[in-house]
C-alpha cells in the first residue's frame, strides 16, 4: 500500500466511537493517493477484529463514553519509503538522451535514454536486500469486514466513508486496509495507532429522581421519570403501574407531556401523558418509542406533612425524631427530619417489580413545653422553619385526642395568619382549664395550615401540618417557696455573714389518681408520702451550711405545709438569685423498682441525710457547703448489694417554684481591703 496510497487520518461518527446494537456507525478515512493520475479501485476493504471482553455486555453508553476520546479523530504518521535502507543509499540515476544517425546521410535512425551508472545499480545485492518490496504480507480473513466499492482515487487526498450497522455487542478493532485492482491487492498490514469502536447492548432502565436537592413534605414536589428503552421497543398500551402509598399522593394533571429523545440526546418527538389513578394503583401510559431511546416526563407528588411521633413530655422542648439519619443527629435543631416512602413500580419489560424510595424532609421542627403559673397551666408549641422557603401559617388548633370531659384548651394566639421565614420560629400558646379532677395526661394534637409564601397559585389544597405529643402529670401538686432573711438587727445580707433560708413546701390538692404509687402511705390520720428536698446553687453564689438535703413526710391534703430552715452564707455582693430547691419522691426499699436496681437507683443513697429523730428537725447536723452532703458516705460500703431507697424526680409540671426569679440584695462586708495595681 505504501507505494500506492497512504492513510492520513480516520474519523468515527458518532465521535465517541460507541454505538448500540442496531445503530449505524460510519468510519471516514482520508487516503492520499501516490498515483499521478486518477485510479479506479474496485473495492477498498477494512478487516475488523471482533472481541468480547469479560462483562462487556454489561457496559452501557455512559460507561464507554467515559473511557473513549471525545473527538473521534485518529491521525496517522506520514509513511516513509518502503524500500530497504541499503537501496535508499544507492546513487541517483544518471540518465542521458541517446541519438543514433545513419552513417550515409546522417539521418536520425533511433533515439532513447541511457543510464551511464547502470553498473552501480545492477550489481549483485546482498542477501538481506532486494530491489523488490518484501512480499510476505498476510491477508486476514474474517467475518467482519467494512467495504466500499467502485472508488476513484484522485491524486492527493481522498475521503472514503464506510458505514456499518452494529449487530453484536463487543469491541471492534480495525486491523488491515486493502485496495483491489483486479487481481492486484494493495495492503496496509497494520493500522496503527489502534482504531477501535464499541457496540453495547443495554437493558431497559427506569430512573426516578427529584428535581430539587431535597423533597419537602406537605407541598407538591416535582419528580422526574427517565425511561431508557435499551433494546426494548415501547409499544402503544405499555404503562408503568405504581402502587399507591397511603401517606403520599401522586398528583394527576391533564396537560402533562412526555418527551422522547434519541440515544444522542436529540429530541425525536413529544406526546401527551395519560395518568389514571385508582384506589391502589396509579397507571402511567407510556408513548410509543423505538429501542435505544429515552422517554422523560415529570410528575408531582405530595407527602402528608406529619411530624415524627414524640415520646412522653420531658420538660422544655423535648422532641424525638426516629426517622432522622445518623449523620444529621449531630446537628440537632438545624436539620430536617426525613420520611421515606417506598413505591413499587411494575414495568412492561420485566416480570419483577422495581422498588424506589423517595425521601421527604419535613420543613418544620416542632417542640412543645408545659408552662406553669401556680395551678394555672399553659401549653406552648414552637414551630421552626428549617427549609429555604418562606411559609404562611394559619388556622392553628390544639385538641385533646382522648376527648377528656371537662378539659378545655383556650387559645391565646391573637393573629390569624403568621409569616415564618427560614430558621425563624413561631410560638402558639393555649391555657388548660378543667372543671373537675384533671386527667393524668394530655394527648395533644397540634395542627396548622401552611402554604408557601410565594404568589404562585397551587393546583391542589394542602393538608394541615400535624404534630402529636403527650404531656404526663401536668397538674401542680406542690408549691415550693424559698426566702432568705438577713441576720437579726440588719436590713440587708452581707457577704460572709450567716443568713437564714426558709423553705416551705405546700400541698395544693387532695389525693389524686397520680398519687397512688408505692410512695403513698396510709395511716389513721390519712394518706401521706415521703419527699426528699435538696438545696443546690449551681452558680456558686451561696454556701449552704448544715444539711442541704433531707426527707420530709408530707400529708396528702390540700394546703398541708412543711417548713425547713437552714443557714446560708452569701459569697458575693450584688443582687443574687435564690438557690434552687428540688423535690424528689422518696420510694421505700421494698418498692418494685428496687428489686432490680440500676445505676440510677442508687443515686445519692449514700449521702441522704435522713433525720431519724423527726422530720421536722432538719436544721441541725453538719454536712458542709455541698448541695448534697456526705454524712453517711463512710458507711456506704456496708450497704453495697442491699436494696436501698430510691429517688424519683417529680415531673416539672407537678412542682411550682414560686420564688423562681427572685433576687436578694447582698452588700459587701465592712472589712477593709487593699487592692494593689501594678502598671508596667
Confidence band for 608, pLDDT divided at 50, 70 and 90: very low
Give the pLDDT confidence score for residue 325 in this predicted structure. 39
Give the pLDDT confidence score for residue 85 in this predicted structure. 47
Let me know the angle formed at the C-alpha of 315 by 312 and 318, rounded to the nearest 5 degrees. 65
Edge-to-edge strands, sheet with 655-657: 542-545, 561-570, 499-507, 478-485, 655-657
Q: What SS3 class is residue 360?
A: strand
Give the pLDDT confidence score for residue 372 in this predicted structure. 85
Give the pLDDT confidence score for residue 314 in this predicted structure. 37
* Domains of the chain and CATH, by start: 1-77+142-201 (2.60.40.10), 205-309+337-360 (2.60.40.740), 376-471 (2.60.40.10), 478-589+650-667 (2.60.40.10)
Give the pLDDT confidence score for residue 631 in this predicted structure. 34
Task: Name the one residue in this structure whose C-alpha cell is 450584688.
Answer: 574
Residue 393 to residue 391: CA distance in whole angstroms = 6
Rg of the chain over Cα atoms, rounded to whole angstroms, equals 48
Give the pLDDT confidence score for residue 605 in this predicted structure. 38
303 touches 297 (CB < 8 A): no
For the ranges 226-230, 256-260, 268-272, 628-632, the lowest mean pLDDT is seen at 628-632
For the ranges 31-45, 193-207, 635-649, the lowest mean pLDDT is seen at 635-649
Average pLDDT over residues 373-402: 90
Residue 622 to residue 46: CA distance in whole angstroms = 106
Give the pLDDT confidence score for residue 60 in this predicted structure. 57
Task: Name the one residue in this structure whose C-alpha cell is 546521410.
Answer: 105
pLDDT in tens, 640-680: 555 677 888 888 788 888 888 889 999 988 766 667 788 88
The b-or-e profile of 603-639 (16+ CB within 10 A means b, else e) is ebbbbbbbbeeebeebbeeebebebbbebeeeeeeee
* Cα dist from 438 to 187, 456, 475, 514, 528, whole Å: 103, 46, 7, 10, 21
pLDDT in tens, 113-124: 988 888 877 776
Average pLDDT over residues 347-368: 92
Residue 473 to residue 207: CA distance in whole angstroms = 51
523 grid coordinates: 395511716
Give the pLDDT confidence score for residue 639 in this predicted structure. 46
Give the pLDDT confidence score for residue 63 in this predicted structure. 59
For the ranges 111-115, 225-229, 252-256, the lowest mean pLDDT is seen at 252-256
Cβ neighbours for 476, distance < 8 A, ≥ 6 positions apart: 372, 374, 375, 377, 508, 653, 654, 655, 656
Residue 619 to residue 363: CA distance in whole angstroms = 55
Q: What SS3 class is residue 88?
A: helix
pLDDT in tens, 63-74: 555 556 557 789
Give the pLDDT confidence score for residue 343 in this predicted structure. 92
Average pLDDT over residues 34-56: 85
For the ranges 323-332, 391-400, 446-455, the lowest mean pLDDT is seen at 323-332
Reply yes or no on whether the pLDDT at 132 is more than 80. Answer: no
Average pLDDT over residues 225-229: 93
106 grid coordinates: 546522417
Confidence band for 496, pLDDT divided at 50, 70 and 90: confident
Average pLDDT over residues 559-581: 91
Reply yes or no on whether the pLDDT at 602 is more than 70. Answer: no
Residue 566 to residue 533: CA distance in whole angstroms = 12
For the ranges 136-140, 195-199, 258-262, 381-385, the lowest mean pLDDT is seen at 136-140
For the ranges 45-49, 51-55, 382-386, 449-453, the lowest mean pLDDT is seen at 51-55
Give the pLDDT confidence score for residue 348 in this predicted structure. 94
Q: List alpha helices for 359-451, DSSP H.
A: none
Give the pLDDT confidence score for residue 338 in this predicted structure. 87
For the ranges 113-117, 326-330, 523-527, the lowest mean pLDDT is seen at 326-330
As a whole number, the mean pLDDT across the chain is: 80
Reply yes or no on whether the pLDDT at 527 is more than 60. Answer: yes
Reply yes or no on whether the pLDDT at 303 is more than 50. Answer: yes
Task: Name the one residue in this structure whose C-alpha cell is 402503544.
Answer: 236
For the ranges 250-254, 267-271, 337-341, the lowest mean pLDDT is seen at 250-254
Confidence band for 633, pLDDT divided at 50, 70 and 90: very low
Average pLDDT over residues 129-138: 53
Give the pLDDT confidence score for residue 313 in this predicted structure. 38
Average pLDDT over residues 326-334: 44
Reply yes or no on whether the pLDDT at 194 is more than 60. Answer: yes
> What are the φ/ψ torsions at residue 636 (nearest 5 degrees)?
-65, -30
Residue 550 to residue 653: CA distance in whole angstroms = 22
Q: What SS3 class is residue 331?
A: helix
Give the pLDDT confidence score for residue 629 in this predicted structure. 36
Express as a percent the part of the chain with pLDDT over 70: 79
Amino acid at each position: 500500500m505504501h507505494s500506492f496510497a497512504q492513510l492520513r487520518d480516520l474519523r468515527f461518527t458518532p465521535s465517541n466511537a460507541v454505538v448500540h446494537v442496531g445503530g449505524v456507525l460510519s468510519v471516514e478515512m482520508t487516503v492520499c493517493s501516490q498515483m499521478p493520475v486518477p485510479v479506479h479501485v474496485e473495492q477498498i476493504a477494512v478487516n475488523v477484529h471482533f472481541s468480547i471482553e469479560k462483562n462487556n455486555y454489561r457496559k452501557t453508553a455512559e460507561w464507554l463514553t467515559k473511557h473513549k476520546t471525545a473527538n473521534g479523530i485518529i491521525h496517522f504518521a506520514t509513511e516513509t519509503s518502503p524500500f530497504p535502507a541499503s537501496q535508499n543509499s544507492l546513487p541517483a540515476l544518471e540518465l542521458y538522451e541517446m541519438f543514433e544517425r545513419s552513417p550515409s546521410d546522417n539521418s536520425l535512425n533511433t533515439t532513447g535514454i541511457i543510464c551511464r551508472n547502470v553498473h552501480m545499480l545492477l550489481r549483485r545485492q546482498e542477501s538481506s536486500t532486494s530491489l523488490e518490496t518484501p512480499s510476505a504480507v498476510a491477508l486476514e480473513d474474517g467475518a467482519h469486514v467494512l467495504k466500499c466499492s467502485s472508488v476513484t482515487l484522485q491524486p492527493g487526498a481522498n475521503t472514503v466513508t464506510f458505514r456499518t450497522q452494529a449487530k453484536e455487542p463487543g469491541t471492534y478493532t480495525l486491523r488491515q486496509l486493502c485496495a483491489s485492482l483486479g487481481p492486484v491487492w494493495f495492503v496496509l498490514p497494520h493500522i496503527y495507532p489502534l482504531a477501535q469502536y464499541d457496540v453495547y447492548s443495554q437493558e431497559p432502565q427506569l430512573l426516578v429522581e427529584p428535581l430539587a436537592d431535597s423533597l419537602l413534605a406537605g407541598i407538591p414536589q416535582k419528580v422526574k421519570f427517565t425511561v431508557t428503552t435499551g433494546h426494548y421497543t415501547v409499544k402503544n398500551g405499555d404503562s408503568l403501574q405504581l402502587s399507591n402509598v397511603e401517606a403520599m399522593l401522586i398528583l394527576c394533571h391533564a396537560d402533562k407531556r412526555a418527551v422522547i429523545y434519541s440515544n444522542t440526546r436529540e429530541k425525536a418527538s413529544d406526546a401527551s401523558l395519560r395518568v389514571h389513578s385508582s384506589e391502589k394503583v396509579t397507571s402511567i401510559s407510556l408513548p410509543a418509542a423505538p429501542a435505544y431511546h429515552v422517554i422523560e416526563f415529570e410528575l408531582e407528588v405530595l407527602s402528608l406533612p406529619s411530624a415524627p411521633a414524640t415520646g412522653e413530655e420531658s420538660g422544655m422542648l423535648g422532641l424525638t425524631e426516629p426517622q432522622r439519619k445518623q449523620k444529621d443527629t449531630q446537628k440537632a435543631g438545624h436539620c430536617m427530619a426525613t420520611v421515606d416512602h417506598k413505591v413499587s413500580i411494575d414495568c412492561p419489560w420485566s416480570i419483577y417489580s422495581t422498588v424506589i424510595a423517595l425521601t421527604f424532609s419535613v420543613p418544620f421542627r416542632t417542640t412543645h413545653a408545659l408552662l406553669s403559673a401556680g395551678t394555672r397551666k399553659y401549653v406552648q408549641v414552637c414551630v421552626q422553619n428549617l427549609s429555604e422557603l418562606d411559609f404562611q401559617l394559619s388556622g392553628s388548633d390544639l385538641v385533646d385526642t382522648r376527648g377528656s370531659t371537662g378539659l378545655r384548651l383556650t387559645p391565646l394566639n391573637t393573629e390569624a395568619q403568621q409569616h415564618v421565614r427560614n430558621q425563624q420560629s413561631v410560638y402558639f400558646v393555649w391555657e388548660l382549664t378543667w372543671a373537675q379532677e384533671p386527667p393524668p395526661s394530655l394527648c395533644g394534637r397540634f395542627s396548622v395550615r401552611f402554604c408557601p409564601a410565594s404568589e404562585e397559585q397551587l393546583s391542589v389544597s394542602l393538608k394541615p401540618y400535624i404534630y402529636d405529643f403527650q404531656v404526663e402529670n401536668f397538674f401542680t401538686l406542690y408549691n415550693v417557696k424559698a426566702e432568705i432573711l438577713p441576720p437579726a438587727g440588719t436590713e440587708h445580707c452581707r457577704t460572709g455573714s450567716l443568713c437564714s433560708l426558709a423553705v416551705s413546701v405546700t400541698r395544693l390538692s387532695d389525693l389524686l389518681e397520680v398519687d397512688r404509687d408505692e410512695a403513698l402511705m396510709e395511716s389513721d390520720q390519712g394518706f401521706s408520702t415521703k419527699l426528699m428536698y435538696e438545696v443546690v446553687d449551681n452558680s456558686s453564689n451561696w454556701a449552704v451550711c448544715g444539711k442541704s438535703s433531707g426527707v420530709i413526710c408530707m400529708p396528702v391534703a390540700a394546703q398541708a405545709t412543711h417548713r425547713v430552715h437552714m443557714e446560708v452564707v452569701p459569697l458575693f455582693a450584688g443582687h443574687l438569685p435564690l438557690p434552687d430547691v428540688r423535690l424528689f419522691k422518696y420510694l421505700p426499699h421494698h418498692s418494685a423498682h428496687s428489686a432490680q436496681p440500676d445505676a440510677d437507683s442508687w443515686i445519692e443513697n449514700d449521702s441522704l441525710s435522713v433525720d431519724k429523730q423527726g422530720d421536722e428537725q432538719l436544721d441541725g447536723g453538719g454536712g458542709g457547703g455541698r448541695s448534697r452532703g456526705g454524712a453517711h458516705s463512710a458507711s456506704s460500703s456496708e450497704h453495697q448489694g442491699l436494696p436501698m431507697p430510691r429517688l424519683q424526680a417529680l415531673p416539672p409540671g407537678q412542682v411550682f417554684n414560686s420564688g423562681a426569679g427572685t433576687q436578694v440584695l447582698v452588700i459587701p462586708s465592712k472589712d477593709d481591703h487593699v487592692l494593689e495595681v501594678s502598671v508596667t
